[in-house]
């Protein structure tokens, strides 16, 4: 029996399979696949530009889900629902593992192939990804000059500004420490969220107590480790990004005007949850 006849026979035996969709919604309609799959428009005739477009679009979809789960986790922590936040943050880490693997696919693009269509990108660059900036804001990394990139779109700029000025994941985690009775520096609890977070002794001491008394602070301990997971994966994503860029364009200036690899190397030194890393030396 051929594969084709086997497949036909197998389908025929499934009497309950729906085949009439004249008045019913199809899989493609539900997912709006006509819109999604028509969005890969190459600006050059080069075969590999399709790879470049698809990888970045898929990454943006994963980032949308990261934001969906991270923002939900922020609200869960604020409402004291730690167990739900753990599920949401664990999902973020799994998504991050997927988005990291995308670099392996993009790495199949050689320097010679990329140079064939690079000029078609103009000044467009992943540096301008607003969802990536929203993720940075949600994790507490705020830089004011970034907002200028999005002034072209008033609604988008408003969304970014609200996230820029709002509490991030670490801010609500620190609030949870205070709710649990830890004495947190009032300047930290009442700080301007648009300013970059700076390491604080009271926060470090609180996390140290949590790690030294896990049994009594199990929820906070789990929260801390979920945050470490997310930062760890994010740094691995950044590292793979940097190495992929170096592999494809070396140390050329990025299409968006950044220093390319040199810029990507510098951001590897950024910390989102500093006390959770520094305390490991003291435990």
Q: How far apart (Å, rounded) are the C-alpha atoms in residues 231 and 233?
A: 5
- Residue 217 annotated as lining a ligand binding site: no
Are 170 and 89 a contacting pair, CB within 8 Å?
no
55 is in an annotated binding site: yes
Q: Which of 131, 62, 120 is nearest to 94 (CA)?
A: 62
Single out the residue of 204, 165, 173 nearest to residue 189, CA to CA.
Answer: 173
17 labeled part of a ligand binding site: no
Determine whether the annotation assigns residue 184 to a binding site. Answer: no
211 is in an annotated binding site: no
The owner of tokens 């926060």 is: 203
Distances (CA, A) of 92 to 113, 133, 135, 271: 33, 16, 11, 18
Residue 36 marked ligand-binding = no
Question: Which residues, other chains included, contact 224 with Cβ-Cβ below 8 Å and sequence gap of 6+?
Answer: 173, 207, 210, 211, 276
114 in a known ligand binding site: yes
Distance CA 18, CA 11 (A): 11
Is 241 within any annotated ligand binding site? yes
53 is in an annotated binding site: yes
* CA pseudo-torsion sign 269, 239, 119, 39: negative
For 143-194, give the DSSP string.
-GGGGGGGTTSHHHHHHHHHHHHS--HHHHHHHHHHHTT----HHHHT--TT
The answer to whether the beta carbons of residues 62 and 95 sit under 8 Å apart is: yes
Binding site feature residues for substrate = 52-56, 114, 118, 255
Binding site feature residues = 52-56, 114, 118, 241, 255
Binding site feature residues for heme = 241
């Amino acid at each position: 029996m051929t594969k084709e006849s086997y497949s036909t026979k197998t389908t025929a035996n499934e009497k309950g399979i729906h085949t009439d969709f004249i008045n019913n919604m199809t899989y493609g309609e539900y997912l709006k696949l006509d819109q999604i799959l028509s969005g890969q428009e190459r600006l050059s005739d080069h075969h590999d530009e399709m790879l470049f477009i698809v990888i970045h679009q898929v990454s943006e979809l994963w980032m949308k889900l990261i934001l969906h789960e991270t923002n939900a986790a922020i609200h869960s922590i604020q409402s004291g629902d730690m167990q739900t936040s753990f599920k949401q943050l664990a999902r973020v880490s799994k998504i991050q593992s997927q988005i990291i693997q995308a670099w392996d696919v993009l790495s199949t693009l050689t320097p010679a192939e990329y140079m064939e269509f690079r000029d078609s990108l103009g000044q467009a660059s992943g540096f301008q990804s607003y969802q990536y900036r929203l993720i940075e804001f949600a994790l507490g990394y705020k830089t004011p000059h970034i907002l200028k990139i999005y002034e072209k779109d008033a609604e988008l700029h408003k969304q970014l500004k609200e996230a820029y000025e709002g509490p991030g994941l670490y801010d609500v985690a620190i609030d949870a420490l205070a709710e649990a009775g830890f004495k947190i520096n009032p300047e930290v609890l009442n700080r301007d969220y648009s300013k970059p977070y700076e390491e604080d002794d009271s926060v470090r001491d609180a996390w140290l107590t949590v790690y030294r008394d896990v049994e009594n602070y199990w929820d906070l301990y789990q929260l801390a480790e979920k945050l470490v997971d997310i930062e760890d994966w994010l740094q691995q994503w950044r590292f793979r990004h940097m190495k992929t860029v170096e592999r494809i364009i070396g140390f050329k200036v990025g299409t968006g005007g950044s220093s390319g690899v040199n810029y990507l190397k510098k951001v590897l030194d950024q910390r989102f949850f500093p006390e959770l890393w520094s305390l490991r030396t003291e435990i």
